[in-house]
Structures are given as C-alpha cells and as structure tokens.
Amino acid sequence: MKEVLDLLNQKNIKYELVEHEEVHTIEDMKKLGLLDKGYVCKNLFLRNANGKMNFVFSCHHEKPVKMDELAKKIGSTRLSFGSAERLYKYLKLENGYVSPFGVINDDSKSVIFIFDKDVQNQTKVGFHPNTNKATIYLNFKDVKKIIEDHGNDVVFVRL
C-alpha cells in the first residue's frame, strides 16, 4: 500500500483512503459501507489460452462477466483466471489484492488493463491499493494515466 500512496502523492493525485478490516468479497465491502462511497469495481486477473498474454479486467462490482464475450471483444483466445503463481509472477500480488494499482509491480510492462467503458467517466472509483485492507477512491482518469505512464496498455470494452 505504501508504494501506491507514495506514487499518488508524488503525482499530486487527489484520493480518499479508507483503511478497513480485510475483505474478500463484495459482500464484505458492502457490510463495511464501502460500496456507498463510490463506484467500486471487481478486478479479475486473466490469461489467454496459451498463457502468453495476461490481463486485469475491471468493471462495476454488480456487472456480470461472460468470459467468452470478453475474449471476443478484445480479440483474444479463450480466457481463464490466472493462477496465484502467475499473479505473483507478473504483478507481485496475492489473490484478493488484484487492482489496476498492480501495474506498479509489472516490471515487464506486459499486463494489459481492460476496463468496461462504464468505468472511464467515473470521478470517484474505488480500488484496493494492492492490499485488501484498504480502498482508495479517486478519479478514473488518474488511474488510466498511472497505467499509461508506466507503459502498459489500456483497453476499453462494452459488456
């Protein structure tokens, strides 16, 4: 979390940090009132069929995700969830910590960040800062800029 906060402060990005008990599900976040503070996303770490491409897909926490539809929209082969080992290899994160802020750990700059188009105009979107013991709310434009400044690709799809 410290690295994420340092980056946000270094870039003079305005944000709201809410530290909380560890959460594992959207239901856990709901119980803590975190869904009322902004547009909260679910974040999925995915890989293509041959394992040569890795993605983080983010969309509103209530939106259903059909993997075959998502694969078609991004021009990929079949998508599946990346393993815990793969997640750690590329983003140095544990299961439950996936978010766009994982980009700061992507030394290869190879993970592609995909967002549902509904996310792109949000002024108060919530993501975990590489831990599930806090949520950061900020303007999505700042999240996009962080990813692009790091050198990773950002793609938008409509699901």
Q: Which of 109, 90, 97, 121 is nearest to 149 (CA)?
A: 109
Q: Which residues pair with 44 in a beta bridge?
A: 57
- Cβ-based neighbours of 159, under 8 Å, separated by 6 or more: 59, 63, 64, 65, 66, 69, 70, 73, 116
Pair of tokens at residue 58: 């983010």
Pair of tokens at residue 140: 């999505």
Q: pLDDT value at position 80?
A: 96
**Residues in the chain, pLDDT under 50:** none
Q: pLDDT value at position 113?
A: 98
Please give the CATH number for the structural domain made up of 2-157: 3.90.960.10
Q: pLDDT value at position 87?
A: 97
**3-class secondary structure, 26:** helix
Q: Is the pTM of this model over 0.75?
A: yes
**CA 15 to CA 123: how far, in whole Å?**
10
